[in-house]
Structure formats: C-alpha cells, structure tokens
C-alpha cells in the first residue's frame, strides 16, 4: 500500500481525484523551504471538506497526501509546460504562484532529486488512477474522472482580474464527450455563481492524459475560486456558510456529469 495518497473504492463509474490538497512535506525538503513557502500558499485548501458529498454518488476517491511543492501531480512527468507562453509552475516547483522563491539559497532540487520525487510520489498516484479507471470501465463499460482543484481568485502573475467561481476544463473538448461538457456547462450556468468552460484553465495533465472519450473514459477538471468557500489569506480558514452554498452548485454539476454520461452509455 502506497502512503503518498489515500484511496477509497466506490461502487459507481465515478473517480474523484484531489491532487493538490495534500499538505505534508518531508523534513528533508521542509528544512530547505523559505519561511514564506512553509505556509504552502498554493494548496487546494479544504477540498475534501468541500466535496464531502461525493459519497452520495458512490464515487471512488483518491487524494494526495503531500504538498504540490514536493511534486505537482497534475504536471507531465517530463516537466513540459501545460500552458506554453504563460506563467505557470513546474513538476517540482521552485517558485510560488506569485513568483516568490520556494527554496532557500542552493536548496532547489537537482535532476536526480526530481527523478526520485517523481518515482516516489508522482508515479504511484498516476498508477492508481490508471488501475481504478480500468477497473471501473470493466465493471460499468465506461469511466468518469472528476479532478478537483481550487485557487485564489486573483493572482496577477497567472491571470488578469478575478477568475469566475466555476472553471470547467475539458482539454478544449478533447477529454470528455461534448454532450457531457454541454450538460455540465448548463448546470454551471444555472447556479448562482459565475462560470466559464475552457477559460484560463482547460485541464491539467490528469484531465488531458486520462480523458479519452473514444475509450469510454471521460475526464474533467473543476477549478474553483477559494474566496467562495474560505479565506484566501493565512491561516486559510474554511467558511462553512459560504462553502455550503457552493456545495449545492457542485452537487448539481456532478449530477449533470454522471447523468449525461449514463445517457450516452446506455
């Protein structure tokens, strides 16, 4: 059993992934972080709390244990940019979203350490997703992957202005059937929150790599603005009243995801 993630097997076509909500950092890495980086600003905070309703969908779940500052599970293993020409962070980030250094002087990981982190943390997570999607597809004839993310609503280095609350990524229509994308977009538009499909965030490596409608695997990424369910400054407090309103919308969106897929695969 790999201890770099937690996994619960469900009994439906749905797998819910949370690759950026981990907050643990091994001591050998933590000792090299700047004081600012130890606050783990770029964490997808409180995602398990926000999505505590997924048991209603009998979903399987996989959640990272370690921080994205250790290794970013939503980046390709070769470190290639997901958004060429735009500011982003890498496989083993050395800068925060704001462009501040993550490591003290001479503390950045070298190629050998990056390879080791990839073997230790990245590969097991992706291997488990592969294994579970295969099991689900054999069991149900198709598989669904919902990749959960959140981010501060304003980060000038990464995007202009304030992000919409709900940011659905489908790899620009390549990672899921268009009917699924349309159903989810309708559910988003019917909510009380601003939304966009394939805007600044079109889905990271997990969505783009695993999503294959021709192989009956439909993958989407949902990026949420944190201001709608928590404080965006340390200590990043969860705000249940705000979160409960957002949960209502997320449940409807997930329902649209699962039901539209069910109709396609009847």
Q: DSSP string spanning 190-235?
A: TSSS-EEESSS----HHHHHH-BGGGTEEEEEEEEEGGGTB-SSTT
Q: Residue 67 in contact with residue 22, Cβ under 8 Å?
A: yes
Tens digit of pLDDT at every position of the chain (266 positions): 578 999 999 999 999 999 999 999 999 999 999 999 999 999 999 999 999 999 999 999 999 999 999 999 999 999 888 888 887 889 999 999 999 999 999 999 999 999 999 999 999 999 999 999 999 999 999 999 999 999 999 999 999 999 999 999 999 999 999 999 999 999 999 999 999 999 999 999 999 999 999 999 999 999 999 999 999 999 999 999 999 999 999 999 999 999 999 999 99
Q: Which pLDDT does position 7 carry in this prediction? A: 98
Q: What token pair was written down for 204?
A: 């990271």
Rounded-to-integer distance, Cα 226 and Cα 150, Å: 6
The number of folded domains in the chain is 1
Q: Which pLDDT does position 82 carry in this prediction? A: 87
Q: Which pLDDT does position 1 carry in this prediction? A: 53
pTM for the full predicted model: 0.97
Domain of residue 211 covers 5-264
Rounded-to-integer distance, Cα 33 and Cα 52, Å: 31
Give the position of tokens 């699924």.
180
CATH number at residue 121: 3.40.630.40
Q: What token pair was written down for 222?
A: 């949902």
């Amino acid at each position: 059993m790999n201890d770099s993630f937690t996994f619960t097997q469900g009994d439906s076509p749905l797998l819910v992934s949370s690759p950026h909500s981990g907050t643990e950092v091994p001591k050998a890495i933590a000792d090299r972080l700047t004081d600012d980086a130890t606050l783990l600003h770029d964490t997808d905070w409180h995602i398990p709390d926000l999505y505590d309703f997924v048991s209603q969908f009998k979903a399987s779940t996989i959640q990272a244990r370690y921080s994205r500052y250790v290794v970013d599970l939503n980046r390709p293993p070769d470190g290639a940019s997901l958004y060429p020409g735009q500011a982003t962070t890498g496989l083993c980030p050395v800068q925060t979203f704001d462009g501040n250094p993550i490591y003290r002087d001479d503390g950045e990981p070298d190629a050998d350490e990056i390879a080791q982190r990839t073997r230790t943390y990245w590969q097991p997570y992706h291997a488990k997703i592969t294994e579970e999607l295969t099991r689900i597809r054999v069991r149900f004839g198709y598989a669904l992957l919902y990749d959960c993310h959140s981010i501060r609503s304003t980060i000038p280095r990464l995007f202009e202005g304030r992000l919409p609350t709900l940011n659905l990524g489908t790899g620009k229509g390549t990672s899921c059937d268009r009917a699924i994308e349309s159903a989810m977009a309708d559910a988003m538009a019917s909510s009380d929150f601003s939304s966009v499909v394939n805007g600044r965030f079109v889905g990271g490596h997990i969505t783009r790599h695993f999503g294959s409608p021709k192989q009956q695997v439909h993958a989407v990424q949902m990026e949420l603005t944190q201001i709608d369910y928590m404080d965006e400054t340390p200590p990043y407090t969860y705000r249940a009243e705000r979160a409960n309103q957002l949960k209502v919308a997320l449940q409807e969106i997930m329902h649209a995801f699962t039901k539209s897929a069910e109709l396609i695969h009847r």
